[in-house]
Amino acid sequence: MPELRRLSADHAPAVLAFELANRAYFAASVPDRGDDYFDHFAERYDALLGEQEAGVCVFYVLVAEDGSVLGRFNLYDLEDRAADVGYRVAQHVAGRGLATATLRDLCRLAGSEHGLSRLRAATALENTASRKVLERVGFVRIGPAGPGDLGGKQGSWYQLDLDSP
Q: How many domains does the chain have?
A: 1
What is the pTM (predicted TM-score) of this model? 0.93
Asked whether residue 164 carries a pLDDT value surpassing 60, the answer given is no
Total Cβ atoms within 10 A of residue 156: 20
Asked whether residue 142 carries a pLDDT value surpassing 70, the answer given is yes
Q: How far apart are CA 2 and CA 72, in angstroms?
A: 12
Residues ≥6 apart with Cβ < 8 Å to 3: 62, 63
Longest dimension (CA), the chain: 45
For residue 85, the domain's CATH number is: 3.40.630.30
Q: Domain range holding 115? A: 3-161
In tens, the pLDDT along 41-75 reads 999 999 999 999 999 999 999 999 999 999 999 99
Average model confidence (pLDDT) for the chain?
94
